[in-house]
Amino acid sequence: MVKKVKEIFEKEADAVRRYHEILYQDTVTKMYNRRYFNIKLQEYLSSEAKNAQGALILVSLNDFERLKGKLGYQKSEAFIKEIASCITTAIDNQKEYVSAKLSDTDFAILAPATSQRSFELLCEEINAMVKSLTKNYDLNEKEHFINIGYAKYFAKSDSKELFSKADFALTSSKAKGAFSINSFVEQTGDSQLVLGKEAWTQELKNAMEQKRFKLAYQNVVSINALTSEFHSELFLRLEDYNGHLHNAGYFMPMVMELKLGAQLDHYVIQRIIEILGEKHFTCKAVCINLGKDIFMQSNDWAWLEDSVESFKKLSIEGLYFEMPSSLDMPIEILIKFSKYLRSFGYGFGIDNFAINSESLAAIQQINPDYIKIQASYMIDLFGDNGLDAPNRSLGIITDSMEIKIIATNVENGAQKEKLEKMGIKYIQGSFIAEPKIIG
């Protein structure tokens, strides 16, 4: 990056970061606030990835007034800050987990995961850390304690209903007494597969062999000409042995736990090459989502060169590989991958972009072709009219690096109009069309 562009980037990135912190950060604990937590919850519930399944965990400290009577205001605030620290420390190694302070004494965690035991272990760890904290403050743990309640969520869950379930679990926990943990017991629907790990492994491998993993697509289009395509993003659907069709958020957590992510990515690449070769589907450019396993399992990228050559033979005008910004993998790999794609004349994009220090630093190094940001997040952050200084700063950053901004999950005309005022040029979402099966 030339010196002038670097200076522009750093100045404007700092302005965006500071605004983001003012809007979404709790001033006492420096955790995220309820406003940001709700945005991330909606993002996860509408996700096509493993984030679409997990748990909403609520942590509540009892009787704040009694605590202030015992410790005084300043020490009580310090105690709250240390509870927040216990929570952030417990999820420190989980990049996709989100924690927030909801009120003076209430906290929440969004925990994408697969197993009941993983939720239990996290709750037990937080409990143990706060118990130790009460001893450090010389508090009676029967009088000063936390309660934890959680509810599982699945793709397309209703956020209000989910909070109600977690609140119910928290209320039940409080009825049990100090440092209790309680979960909301969910009834399994008829269309859900109830399988153990071995059975899941067999089902997922069979689905690949029998081509029961179906590809769907959704277009990214110009905001001024909705029939003008930028690219067609591919999504996965699983047709299970009962004939039910499931979104990726349903099966991807198990795919990742069973370490089948790389195998499934290879399946998607080969399947779209087959479909395009058979002329069952045509598009201007195709976008393929990748996880980290395809890179981490081997240093051999021969698969990529072979795949790119196959796409070139099909005369595909554009090919993009896309990865989420929250992916926990070395930045050096993403830089190398992005450069490698450009050497073939193709591109790289970042999905679910969050406007924070880590993500801004990443695009400075990777310089992707585009970033995708949730429409509701952009509108909330930059205001309905999009004329706020932080929006201009983000525009300056992306324009200086020739990075396109794509607003995703656009659901209605009102959102489109607001995004248009903000200067957004590309959009994606149900307002244009729902994903369509192609084979």
Alpha-carbon separation of residue 290 from 32, 138, 345 (angstroms): 28, 50, 18
Provide the pLDDT confidence category of residue 303 given band limits of 50, 70 and 90.
Answer: confident
Provide the pLDDT confidence category of residue 298 given band limits of 50, 70 and 90.
Answer: low
Task: Identify whether the C-beta of residue 248 lies closer than 8 Å to the C-beta of residue 44.
Answer: no
The answer to whether the Cα torsion of 243, 244, 245, 247 is positive or negative is: negative
Q: What is the pLDDT of residue 314?
A: 86
Choose the weakest-confidence range: 188-202, 241-255, 319-333, 398-412. Answer: 188-202
Mean pLDDT estimate for the chain:
88
Nearest alpha carbon to residue 437 among 278, 245, 229: 245
Please give the share of the chain, as a percent, with pLDDT higher than 90: 54
Task: Identify whether the C-beta of residue 406 lies closer than 8 Å to the C-beta of residue 220.
Answer: yes
d(CA 344, CA 305) in angstroms, rounded, equals 9
| pLDDT, tens only, 235-264 | 999 998 888 898 888 888 888 888 899 999
Average pLDDT on 164-183 reads 92
How far is it between the farthest Cα atoms of the chain? 74
Average pLDDT on 202-228 reads 94
Q: What is the pLDDT of residue 168?
A: 92
In DSSP notation, 305-366 reads HHHHHHHHHTT-SEEEEEEETT--S-HHHHHHHHHHHHHTT-EEEEES---SHHHHHHHHHH
| pLDDT, tens only, 364-417 | 999 999 999 999 999 998 876 554 666 778 888 888 889 999 999 999 999 999
Provide the pLDDT confidence category of residue 114 given band limits of 50, 70 and 90.
Answer: low
Q: What is the pLDDT of residue 384?
A: 61
Half-sphere exposure of 56 (CA within 13 A, CB side): 28
Task: Identify whether the C-beta of residue 379 lies closer than 8 Å to the C-beta of residue 419.
Answer: yes
240-244 long-range contacts, Cβ below 8 Å, gap at least 24?
Answer: 240/193, 240/203, 240/207, 240/212, 241/203, 241/206, 242/191, 242/193, 244/191
Choose the weakest-confidence range: 64-78, 170-184, 196-210, 376-390. Answer: 376-390
* Per-residue DSSP letter, 25: B
Average pLDDT on 301-305 reads 80
Q: What is the pLDDT of residue 300?
A: 67
d(CA 325, CA 406) in angstroms, rounded, equals 14
Q: What is the pLDDT of residue 193?
A: 58
Q: What is the pLDDT of residue 389?
A: 67
Provide the pLDDT confidence category of residue 58 given band limits of 50, 70 and 90.
Answer: very high
d(CA 280, CA 282) in angstroms, rounded, equals 7
Chain center to CA of 220: 19
**CA geometry: angle at 149 spanning 172 and 62, to 5°?**
75
Beta bridge partners of 108: 58, 100
Supply 135's token pair: 């001893």
In this prediction the pTM is 0.88
Q: What is the pLDDT of residue 388?
A: 65
Q: What is the pLDDT of residue 393?
A: 83
